[in-house]
Amino acid sequence: METIKLPKPKLKSGFSVEEAILKRRSVRSYSLRELTTEQISQLLWACQGITGAGGFRAAPSAGALYPLEIYLFTASGIYRYIPESHQLQKRSSSNSKKDLARASWNQRFIEEAPLDIVICAVYERITSRYGKRGIRYTDIEVGHAAENIHLQAVSLGLSSCPVGAFDDKAVSKILNLPDKEKPIYIIPVGYKRQ
C-alpha cells in the first residue's frame, strides 16, 4: 500500500495548554479550507505519536499495549496512521466522507470538515492481559487520545467536535475493519466557518 511520510511534529509552540483548554469548543460548521500536511502531522502526533524511547506514545496506555488504530478521511481518500514511522498508509482513494456522515446519522458537518479522524480499538490487545477490566482501560485511552486531538486543534487555530453518534457496523464497513477492531470515536477537524 502507498505510504506518505509525515513532517516531523513541532515540539514547542507559543500556545499554552491552559489557553487551549480555555478556547476549546465543539464546532459543527467548517469552511472548505483544507488542512496542511504539517497540521495533520501535528494532530496525529498529539493523538498517538511516539514521544519517547521504547515506543511510548503521546496518550497513556494501560501496560503500554496501545490498542488504538487511527484512520483519516479526507477528500483524497482514507488513510491509516502508522505511529512507529509517523506515516500514513493509504487504504482507499475514494472520498468517503459523505458515507461517513451518512453512517453518523446524517451529521452533515462530518462531510463538511476537511478532515475526519476515526479512533478505533482492538480491545483484545488489552483484555488479553487485564481481562474485562481492559475494556475500561481502552475506553479511557480513547478519551486521552481524543482530548489531545481537540487541544492540539485549538493550538493550531483549528476547531473540532467529538462524535460518538454513529452506526458502528456501517463505519466498520466503510473502513473495511477486521472483526476485532471497533470504531469508537469520530473527530471532524477544520477551520470554523465564519
Q: What is the pLDDT of residues 147-162, one digit of tens each?
A: 999 999 999 999 999 9
**Of 177, 168, 135, whose CA–CA distance to 186 is shortest?**
168
* Residue 171 domain boundaries: 3-8+17-190
DSSP count for the chain of H helices, then E strands:
7, 9
User: What mean pLDDT is reported for the chain?
Assistant: 97
- Rounded CA-CA distance 119/106 in Å is 19
Residue-level pLDDT at 1? 80
| H helices present in 30-166, as ranges | 37-48, 97-103, 108-112, 124-130, 133-155
Look at the chain and report how many structural domains it folds into. 1
Q: For residue 186, give Cα distances in angstroms to 54, 100, 143, 159.
A: 28, 9, 12, 14
C-alpha closest to that of 65 among 125, 131, 123: 125
Which of 151, 60, 167, 58 is CA-nearest to residue 103?
A: 167
Cell numbers given for 114: 476537511
Residues 75-134 pLDDT 10s: 999 999 999 999 999 999 999 999 999 999 999 999 999 999 999 999 999 999 999 999
List the CATH number of the domain containing 99.
3.40.109.10
- Alpha carbon distances (Å) from 179 to 140, 169, 176: 21, 10, 9
1 by Cβ neighbours in 10 Å (0-12 / 13-18 / 19+) ranks as exposed
